[in-house]
Structure 1
Amino acid sequence: MFFLGLYDWLPVKILTVALLILITVYLIRKSIKLFFDKTSFLDEKREETLIHFANQVTKVLGLVFFFIYVISPFFDLAKLVTGSVVVAGALALIFQHIIRDYIMGLTYLFERQIHHGDYVIINGNCQGKIEEISMRHLKIRQYDGYLYTVSYSNITELQNGNRGRRRVNESLVLNYRQNPDDAFKVMEEVAETCNEKYGEYLLKDEKGVPVENFKFNHITELNVEFRGHRYSLSGLVNEADIVEAGKKVRYELAKAAHKYELMMAESLSTGD
């Protein structure tokens, strides 16, 4: 009788429900992981992404159910639900940005555009490895070590390297006064140097032949920010080597620009 009376105490009920929710969430997560461990109809990275997303969903649902239980003694939930159409509409307008994040997050996930651990470029200025896929946002570990968080609704452009194959794409933005013929010769030389020195990073086919060597792609953009023209170099490399290969290519470009005194594009504020 003592324990039954103790259970009627509201704080004890809340703690009991919280414990039950935690156990339920744990069992659901464990079951999902066990299911994927015992099956093989999805690739490993896809399974890892779904597990990661399921963990986020179960956490949110657990918090929602707990919140509903806590407020239930103070409100008539039946009347609250039946009379909440106008409120729900108003909340949808207020939180439309958040709702759009959730919808776009589900779209990215189920269209298989992103996977946990992928190397991506977001909106052309943030690149790195996906560390977390939540219901509202992505967390990207950039090459400089900073963790970048971006909501799905703010993603206007997403570039995702295919699993097992990534393309290094580096460039020099040269002043519009730079003679293109001279720049072409330097960029071609850099491409040859990269193939000779960093060929181990290149993706190989079954015969050990590079699928795509480092190559100069000519002028890929004119009048970049009204400062100059972009001369690009690219190569298809192993996914595991994308960061190191990019560093090496950038080094060779910088060294060649200094050696041949190429005219780099300058900010308009310099008054050149």
Structure 2
Amino acid sequence: MFFFELFQQLPVKILTVALLIILIVYFIRKSIKLFFDKTSFLDEKREETLIHFSNQVTKVLGLAFFIIYLLSHFFDLEKFVAGSVVLAGALALILQHIIRDYIMGLTYLFERQIHHGDDVIINGNRQGKIEEISMRHLKIRQYDGYLYTVSYSNITELQNGNRGGRRVNESLVLHYRQNPEDAFKVMEEVAQACNEKYGEYLLKDENGVPVESFKFNQITQLNVDYRGHQYSLSGLVKEADFVEAGKKVRFELAIAAYKNDLMMAESLNTSH
């Protein structure tokens, strides 16, 4: 009788429901993971991506159910929902950016354009490994160590280096006073040197021909952070050689910039 009365108290009810939702979410996540552990009809990266995404979905749904339960003790939900059609429409207009993020996120996921752990380039200037795929955004661990978060609706261009190989994409940001004609000549020479020295890293087809040799992509971004222009070089390399090939290309770019006295872009905080 004591326990029955205890469970009739609102704080105890709310706490019990919260714990129950947490347990249900936990068991759903465990079940999904166990399912993929016991099956093999999807590749490992695809399974990892779906597990990661399902964790995000169950978290949001669990929180939504808890909020609905909480509101049911303070409002007549039937009347509240019936009288909230106009409010819902207004909220949809206000939250259209967020809704678009969700829709585009589902599109990226189910069209298999991205996987957890893929090396990607976002909007031409953010390069790194996908560390988190949520319902609204991607988190990219850049090669400089910084974590970059971008919502799906703000992605205008996505290059995936894991599709058919790994794409090395390195660049120099040169001062806006640097003569582009001289820079073009140097970058073309660097691309040629990389093909001659590091051709064994390139991904090749069944005939032994490189799928995509190292090439100069000209100016890929103007006035980067108001400092200068970006000159990029890329090449499609074998998975196992991606890290080493990137190091070699960066070395060649650094040597070329030094030997040819290219004017590197400077930070706005640089003092003379």
Please give the range of the TM-score, normalised by the shorter of the 2 chains.
0.7 to 0.9
* Structure 1 unaligned spans of 5+: none
Q: Report what 2:192 is aligned to.
A: 188
Q: Tell me the amino acid that sits aligned with residue 91 of structure 2.
A: L
Pair 1:219–1:116, CA change in 2 (3 A): closer
Q: 2:139–2:150: 8 Å Cα contact kept in structure 1?
A: yes
SS of the equivalent of 2:141 reads strand
* Matching residue of 1:54: 54
TM-score, normalization by structure 2: 0.83
Q: Taking structure 1 as reference, are residues 188 and 262 closer, same or farther at Cα in structure 2, changes over 3 Å only?
A: farther
Contact 1:184 1:218 in 2 (8 A): yes
Listed one character per residue, the Cα deviations across residues 246-271 of structure 1 (whole Å, up to 9, x for unaligned) are 23201112113323x2544768x9xx
Give the AA of the match of 1:108: Y
Task: Say if 2:140 is the partner of 1:135.
Answer: no
Name the structure 2 match of 1:90: 90
TM-aligned CA distance change 1:162 to 1:96, over 3 Å:
same
* Correspondence 1:1-272 to 2 at 5 A: 1-163=1-163, 165-172=165-172, 175-178=179-182, 184-185=188-189, 187-195=191-199, 199=200, 201-203=201-203, 211-212=210-211, 214-215=213-214, 217=215, 220-221=218-219, 224-225=222-223, 230=231, 233-259=233-259, 261=260, 263-264=262-263
Q: Which amino acid aligns with 1:90?
A: A
Q: Tell me, in whole angstroms, the C-alpha distance in 2 between the residues paired with 1:163 and 1:257.
A: 31
* TM-aligned CA deviation for residue 164 of structure 1: 6.2
Q: What secondary structure does 2:182 align onto?
A: coil
C-alpha contact 1:164 1:239 (8 A) present in aligned 2: no
Q: Give the Cα separation in 1 of the matches to 2:63 and 2:221.
A: 52
Which residue type is aligned with residue 38 of structure 1? K
Is the alpha carbon distance of 1:182 and 1:139 closer, same or farther for their aligned partners in structure 2, counting shifts above 3 Å? closer
Gaps of 5+ in 2: none
With the length of structure 1 as denominator, give the TM-score of the two structures.
0.83
Q: Which amino acid aligns with 1:189?
A: A
RMSD (CA atoms): 3.0
Residues 34 and 126 from structure 1, CA distance in 2 versus in 1: closer, same or farther, beyond 3 angstroms? same
Q: Is the 8 A contact 1:168 1:234 kept in 2?
A: yes
CA distance in 2, matches of 1:138, 1:257: 34
- 1:239 positional shift: 3.2
Structure 1 residue 222: deviation in Å?
9.0
Amino acid of the structure 2 residue aligned with 1:77: L
State percent identity of aligned pairs: 70
CA 105–13 in structure 1, closer or farther in 2 if over 3 Å, else same: same
Equivalent AA in structure 2 for residue 178 of structure 1: D
Q: Distance in 2 between matches of 1:131 and 1:186?
A: 32
- Name the count of aligned residue pairs: 261
Task: Provide, for residues 191-249 of structure 1, a one-character-per-residue CA deviation record: whole Å limited to 9, x for no partner.
Answer: 32333xxx3x4446679x5744753x35634995597794x543322335434422320
Could you tell me whether the CA contact under 8 Å between 2:187 and 2:233 is conserved in 1? no
Report the CA distance shift for 1:100/1:192 in structure 2 as closer, same or farther (over 3 A): same
